[in-house]
Amino acid sequence: MGVPYPDLLEMSSKGDDCSYTDREVMLYALGIGMGEDPLGDDELAFVNEGWLTARDPQLKVVPTFASAFGYSSRPPALPLNRVKVVDAARDILFHKPLPIAAKVSADSSYIGAWDKGDKGAIIQRETVVRDASGDPVCTIRGMSFARGDGHFGGPTNGAPEPHPTPDRAPDMSVDITTRDNQALIFRLSGDRNPLHSDPEFGRKAGFDKPILHGMCTYGITCRAVLSTYADWDPNAFRRHAAQFRAPVYPGETITVDMWKDGGTISFEAHVKARGVTVVKHGLTELG
């Protein structure tokens, strides 16, 4: 068990099929809670293909749907203590808008690992998704926090610096309530980790009950920006990045605080009922 450093930097996966249809697009949108109001046109555009309407395009794609590509394309698994591994961060750079359905493939590799001693290990990977012509669609950088795999002898410094949060009151805040069964829906987009569905597994991992996927919380922060500063236009997103600091339990309300500086939106997310910050150093670049 442990982080095989530096060998992991040579580990990769090439040409993984990440193709999808509008079914996966709509399932992801439902998984982050969109469409709760079946008469709300703004969110309905992400969960209904609208074939009887004049809407163009007939279906919109939530930008962070791209995070689901990471479940189809990953470098070889590392011999980690899986019970103690959680998502730490995600950063997606969009090279072009996501189509409603597409034949896409991806190359994935590990690009860094940092030893945090008793706290664990941080492992970073990168996935480049390409369309059928070979052109890049998006680049996804993810970090995992392996809480049981520190002291592996890797570097202790040099991890990517987080985006700074503005030193002023938020310009806007949005409350988004999650459903009690939201993790059970979101897991159908690819992340079947029992930490999000099995109560006994959740307790073994140190949680009172199954927790919401970090990627679901990530998608909810995208939903907050999408519904406000992006004016429901997914094609406005150039980048969406965040670090995860604490879990969300299904059924809780997430408050997303946002700061706008031109086309740069900074954000944090909190569960006020427990007084915890669940997302920090959030960054959206709109264009």
Yes or no: say if 105 and 130 are a contact pair by the CB < 8 Å rule.
yes
How far is it, in rounded angstroms, from Cα 210 to Cα 182? 11
- One-letter amino acid at 161 equals E
For the annotated catalytic residues, the residue numbers are 191, 196
How far is it, in rounded angstroms, from Cα 116 to Cα 153? 10
Residue 20 CB contacts under 8 Å (≥ 6 apart), including other chains: 68, 101, 102, 104
Burial, 157: exposed, middle or buried (Cβ in 10 Å; 0-12, 13-18, 19+)?
A: exposed
State the chain's mean pLDDT as an integer. Answer: 94
How far is it, in rounded angstroms, from Cα 142 to Cα 241? 10
Local confidence band at 82 (pLDDT 50, 70, 90 cut-offs)? confident
Any idea which of 23-32, 56-65, 152-161, 230-239 has the lowest mean pLDDT?
A: 56-65
pTM as predicted: 0.94
Give 162-184 pLDDT, tens digit per residue: 999 999 999 999 999 999 999 99
Residue 43 CB contacts under 8 Å (≥ 6 apart), including other chains: 29, 34, 35, 36, 37
Residue 112 CB contacts under 8 Å (≥ 6 apart), including other chains: 9, 122, 123, 124, 158, 159
Yes or no: say if 154 and 7 are a contact pair by the CB < 8 Å rule.
no
The closest of 213, 108, 160 to 221, measured between CA atoms, is: 213
Q: pLDDT at position 124, please?
A: 97
Residue 106 CB contacts under 8 Å (≥ 6 apart), including other chains: 15, 16, 18, 69, 72, 73, 127, 128, 129, 130
How far is it, in rounded angstroms, from Cα 260 to Cα 184? 33
How far is it, in rounded angstroms, from Cα 285 to Cα 287? 7
Per-residue tokens: 229: 């500063």
Give 46-78 pLDDT, tens digit per residue: 999 876 566 566 899 999 999 999 888 989 999
Where do the domains of the chain lie, and which CATH numbers do they carry? 7-286 (3.10.129.10)
In this structure, the number of other CB atoms found within 10 A of the CB of residue 259 comes to 18
